[in-house]
Structure 1
Amino acid sequence: MLNPQWLRSFAALAELGNFTRTAERLDLTQAAVSQHVQRLEERLGPLLIRRPRQLELTPAGKALLAYCADVAGADQRLQQRLSAAETTRGEVSLISPGSIGLALYPQLLQLQQAYPGLSIRHRFAPDQEVLDAVLENRFELGLVTLRPDDQRLSVSRFAAEPLELVAPAGVAIRSWTDLQQLGFIDHPDGQAMASRLLSRRFPDEPGVRSLPCKGYINQISLILEPVAGGLGFTIIPRYARLAFTRPDAIQVISGEPEVVDTLWLLHRAEWPLSARAELVLQHLRPGFAGP
Structure 2
Amino acid sequence: MINIDWLQTYCTLIETGHFTRTAEKLAMTQPGVSQQIRKLEHYYQKTLLQREGKSFTLTEAGNQVYLQAQQTLAQLNQLELSLKQDDPHAGLCRIASPGSVGLKLYPNLLDLQAKYPDLVFDYKFAPNASIEQMLADRQLDLGFITRPSTLSELATQAFAEEALVLVTPARYNNASWQDLLDLGYVDHPDGAHHSQLLLSANYPEFEQTSQFKLRGFSNQISLILEPIAMGLGFTVLPAHAVAAFAKPELIAASHLANPVSETIYLVQRRYHRLASRFKLVTDNMQQCLVQKQPD
TM-score (ref. length: structure 1):
0.71
Counterpart in 1 of 2:100? 99
For this pair of structures, how many residues does the alignment match?
A: 228
Asked whether the equivalents of residues 227 and 233 of structure 1 are also in contact (C-alpha less than 8 Å), the reply is yes
Counterpart in 1 of 2:124? 123
C-alpha distance 158-83 of structure 1, shift in aligned 2 (>3 A):
farther
C-alpha distance 237-82 of structure 1, shift in aligned 2 (>3 A):
farther
Instruction: Give 1:288's aligned amino acid.
Output: L
Counterpart in 2 of 1:276? 277
Structure 2: distance between partners of 1:256 and 1:92? 39
Structure 1: distance between partners of 2:78 and 2:128? 23
Counterpart in 2 of 1:242? 243
Q: Unaligned 5+ residue runs, structure 2?
A: 1-17, 29-76
Structure 1: distance between partners of 2:237 and 2:134? 25
Structure 1: distance between partners of 2:181 and 2:258? 20
Asked whether the equivalents of residues 131 and 142 of structure 1 are also in contact (C-alpha less than 8 Å), the reply is yes
Report deviation, 1:113: 1.1
Instruction: Give 1:201's aligned amino acid.
Output: N
TM-score (ref. length: structure 2):
0.70
Asked whether the equivalents of residues 183 and 233 of structure 1 are also in contact (C-alpha less than 8 Å), the reply is yes
Structure 2: distance between partners of 1:60 and 1:269? 21
C-alpha distance 272-200 of structure 1, shift in aligned 2 (>3 A):
same
Report deviation, 1:208: 1.7
Asked whether the equivalents of residues 95 and 125 of structure 1 are also in contact (C-alpha less than 8 Å), the reply is yes
Structure 2: distance between partners of 1:278 and 1:221? 29
Instruction: Give 1:171's aligned amino acid.
Output: Y
Structure 1: distance between partners of 2:211 and 2:291? 34
Report deviation, 1:250: 1.1
Structure 2: distance between partners of 1:182 and 1:211? 8
Instruction: Give 1:136's aligned amino acid.
Output: D
C-alpha distance 169-84 of structure 1, shift in aligned 2 (>3 A):
farther
Structure 1: distance between partners of 2:235 and 2:271? 41
Is the counterpart of residue 68 in structure 1 residue 37 in structure 2? Answer: no
C-alpha distance 290-151 of structure 1, shift in aligned 2 (>3 A):
farther
Asked whether the equivalents of residues 161 and 263 of structure 1 are also in contact (C-alpha less than 8 Å), the reply is yes
Report deviation, 1:63: 4.6
- Let me know the Cα RMSD of the aligned residues: 2.7
Structure 2: distance between partners of 1:240 and 1:196? 17
Report deviation, 1:152: 3.4
Structure 2: distance between partners of 1:83 and 1:246? 48
Is the counterpart of residue 161 in structure 1 residue 195 in structure 2? Answer: no
C-alpha distance 143-84 of structure 1, shift in aligned 2 (>3 A):
farther
Asked whether the equivalents of residues 84 and 276 of structure 1 are also in contact (C-alpha less than 8 Å), the reply is no
Asked whether the equivalents of residues 163 and 261 of structure 1 are also in contact (C-alpha less than 8 Å), the reply is yes
**SS of 2:186's equivalent?**
strand
C-alpha distance 275-234 of structure 1, shift in aligned 2 (>3 A):
same
Structure 1: distance between partners of 2:281 and 2:196? 35
